[in-house]
Amino acid sequence: MAGFDLAEFSRATAALAKTAEPLTLAIHGGPLRGGSAFHWRDGFFVAAEEVVEGDDEIDVVLADGSAAKAAIQGRDPSTGIVLIRPGQGIASQEFERAATPQAGALAMIVGRVEATPIASLGTVSACGPAWRSMRGGQIDHRITLAAPLDGRFVGGAVLDAEGRLIGMMLFGPRRRAIVIPASTIDRVAPILAEKGYMARGFLGAGLHPVRGSDVAGAMVMSLEKNGPAEQAGLRLGDIVTGWDGETISGPREVIRRLGSDSVGTTAKLSVSRGGEAREVAVKIGTRPLA
């Protein structure tokens, strides 16, 4: 550490946060009493689904401190991404994209509270392979952060040491700070911009967990008329114990497999029916819009 200039490092990190200010806005109100958002491209901002209420528009505070309305263009609960567009104060710049980070790399998390920019410096504590969220969203990398953060940063941009976008900050289980990678955002946001939603897989069966000494899985408690499960021959009381050769221990594991990439595919379900094992092939449909 010989020759390390702490004052110069402090000025550099402050300058890095300063460059992000014009690309951020604040979410006013909402379930968590606020959050942050950042400019994606073409006047659209990315925010976190958990801090955005309603289906039409939300209150935001722009980079210049003025209050405005932002239209909700679309949302994807499976990845936690919402696309919004303010009616004014549209940013013209966007963040360059960062390479996949390594554990230990510096990370700057930026956002906004009302008119005040906020920033926190931390590190990437881990960067692992792709994973699937509890709602079936395909996330390109499992990135976690070690940084002092609170709810005001949710939806904020996570940047590398050169100011390039790593992704969007969220809280995962046990309030662990996680990142939805920029590559996932760039895959989901164009679809939200065009359609307003991400298609999700649909089985058409109400399921209940079963855990016994003989069998464990997800019991079929209801069937959607003419839905994929009914058409495939699933019956009330069937217990789904496997999906394409992988063990199913409850309904959550079924839901995780019903992401956007499952639509139109055929899943081979292992089923216990009256104590007899059998296989049922189900063509996954598209979940109806609520």
Q: Are residues 260 and 229 in the same domain?
A: yes
pLDDT of residue 214: 81
* Domain harbouring 15, CATH code: 2.40.10.10
Domain boundary among 19, 51, 86: 86
Tell me: the pLDDT tens digits for 107-128? 999 999 999 999 999 999 999 9
pLDDT of residue 30: 62
Sign of CA dihedral 96, 102, 106, 112: positive
Give 173's pLDDT tier (boundaries 50, 70, 90): confident
Range name among 50-64, 230-244, 253-267 with the lowest pLDDT average:
50-64
How many other C-beta atoms lie within 10 A of the C-beta of residue 158? Answer: 30
Q: How many domains does the chain have?
A: 3
Which pTM was predicted?
0.87
Domain boundaries, position 140: 106-181
φ, ψ at 236 (rounded to 5°): -60, 135
Q: Mean of the pLDDT values across residues 202-211? A: 94
* pLDDT above 70 for 262: yes
- Inside any domain, residue 220: yes
* Domain harbouring 229, CATH code: 2.30.42.10
Q: Contact 255/136 with Cβ under 8 angstroms?
A: yes
| Residue whose pair of structure tokens reads 């940013």 in the numeric block | 91
Q: Mean of the pLDDT values across residues 254-272? A: 93
* pLDDT above 80 for 3: no
**Beta strands, E only, 212-258:** 216-223, 239-243, 246-247
Residue 176: what residue type? R
Tell me: the pLDDT tens digits for 148-163? 999 999 999 999 999 9
If you ran DSSP here, which 8-state letter would residue 97 be given? B
Q: Are residues 81 and 123 in the same domain?
A: no
pLDDT of residue 80: 95
- Inside any domain, residue 232: yes
pLDDT of residue 1: 54
Give 89's pLDDT tier (boundaries 50, 70, 90): low
Task: State the Cα–Cα distance between residues 246 and 104, nearest whole angstrom.
Answer: 34
Q: Mean of the pLDDT values across residues 253-274? A: 93
Question: Distance from first CA to last CA of the chain, Å, rounded?
Answer: 57
Give 34's pLDDT tier (boundaries 50, 70, 90): confident
pLDDT of residue 135: 86
Domain boundary among 181, 209, 228: 181
- Three-state DSSP class for residue 227: coil
